[in-house]
């Protein structure tokens, strides 16, 4: 089996599943565990989600005690819940077909079990409902006015934190060894590597993130992966692959620096620097210089994708974008990124 998880979530009578929390998702669970779970739940194969009740869970907990004590203990805990419960079983990494399947894959990413671009997420947007994420949890949009009125009549205020298809990651997963100054700016499905610091203006979308350690003061769009020891300066932005953008997967290599308010639309190799304020898109005309400062060629930035040891800057006299050998070494503060 590819993946398995047991979860508790929010279900609406008309909208269906709004969200699911999987405390301990499994990637490639053991054959013994998969066989026992399949037998107890009457699983016949494929990718599916199965509604559970406390009796199911207690029987499962007893059955898997010997092969997986941790999952057994979790199942015992879930059995005491009055909230909707579900088991999601994925035989293969096929495109998701339900909200429980999408949430399981988002959890696999944020639990660091799979890196960005390691899962089939095709069609997920059409499956996820738009949800009001409130101080009382997930609420269907159609039910929100009645819930707000009910809270006011009790002398309370129902705080709506966001209206979105994605919740914030830290309501579901807090990876070890990270600092996130504003948790609302990291969506579930982000992969945040150990040693990463995300400052107040930093942002990471789903199916994106950092290998760690890293300093993130800019925006990591969907699909972008930042390798170890790189720094995204304040206000900078890295193009993703959504909203009509190109299909070029943008990644940033190790020991790179994207300056404050800069932008990047091509993949970078290792030890690259983009000057503060410079927005480098795939079509930007770049003048390539040799070590003596002599012009070698003029090309589009896309022709330099994935190359290492490059410094991109704008000539302050001519205004042209130049690329030359990057001789500086980017070093992160080890004490700053030791998040024990």
Q: Known catalytic residues? A: 217
Q: How would you classify the pairing of strands 26-27 and 203-204?
A: unpaired
Q: How many CB atoms lie within 10 A of CB 282?
A: 17
CA–CA dist 238, 264 (Å, integer): 5
Burial class (CB in 10 A: 0-12, 13-18, 19+), 92: exposed
CA–CA dist 124, 98 (Å, integer): 8
Candidates 53, 61, 49, 50; CA nearest to 82 is 53
3-state DSSP assignment of residue 235: coil
CA–CA dist 114, 222 (Å, integer): 15
């Amino acid at each position: 089996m590819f993946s398995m998880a047991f979860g508790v979530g929010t279900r609406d009578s008309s909208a269906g599943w709004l969200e699911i929390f999987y405390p301990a998702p499994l990637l490639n669970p053991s054959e013994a565990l998969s066989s026992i779970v399949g037998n107890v739940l009457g699983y016949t194969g494929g990718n599916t989600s199965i509604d559970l009740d406390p009796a199911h869970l207690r029987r499962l907990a007893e059955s898997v005690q010997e092969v997986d004590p941790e999952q057994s203990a979790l199942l015992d805990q879930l059995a005491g819940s009055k909230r909707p419960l579900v088991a999601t079983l994925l035989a293969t990494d096929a495109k998701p077909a339900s909200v429980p399947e999408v949430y399981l894959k988002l959890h696999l990413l944020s639990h660091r079990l799979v890196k960005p671009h390691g899962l089939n997420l095709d069609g997920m947007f059409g499956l996820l409902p738009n949800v009001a994420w409130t101080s009382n949890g997930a609420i269907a949009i159609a039910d929100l006015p009645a819930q707000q009125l009910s809270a006011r009549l009790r002398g309370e205020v129902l705080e709506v934190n966001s209206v979105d298809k994605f919740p914030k990651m830290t309501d579901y997963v807090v990876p070890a060894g990270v600092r996130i100054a504003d948790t609302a700016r990291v969506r579930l499905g982000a992969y945040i590597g150990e040693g990463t610091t995300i400052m107040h203006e930093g942002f990471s979308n789903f199916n994106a993130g950092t290998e760690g350690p890293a300093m993130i003061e800019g925006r990591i769009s969907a699909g972008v992966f930042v390798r170890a020891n790189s720094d995204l300066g304040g206000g900078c932005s890295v193009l993703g692959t959504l909203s009509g953008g190109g299909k070029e997967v943008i990644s940033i290599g190790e020991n790179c620096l994207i300056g404050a308010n800069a932008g990047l639309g091509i993949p970078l190799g290792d030890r690259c620097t983009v000057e503060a304020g410079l927005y480098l898109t795939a079509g930007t005309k770049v003048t390539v210089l040799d070590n003596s400062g002599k012009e070698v060629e003029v090309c589009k930035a896309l022709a330099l994708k994935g190359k290492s040891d490059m410094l991109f800057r704008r000539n302050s006299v001519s205004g042209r974008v130049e690329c030359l050998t990057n001789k500086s070494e980017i070093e992160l503060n080890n004490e700053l990124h030791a998040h024990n």
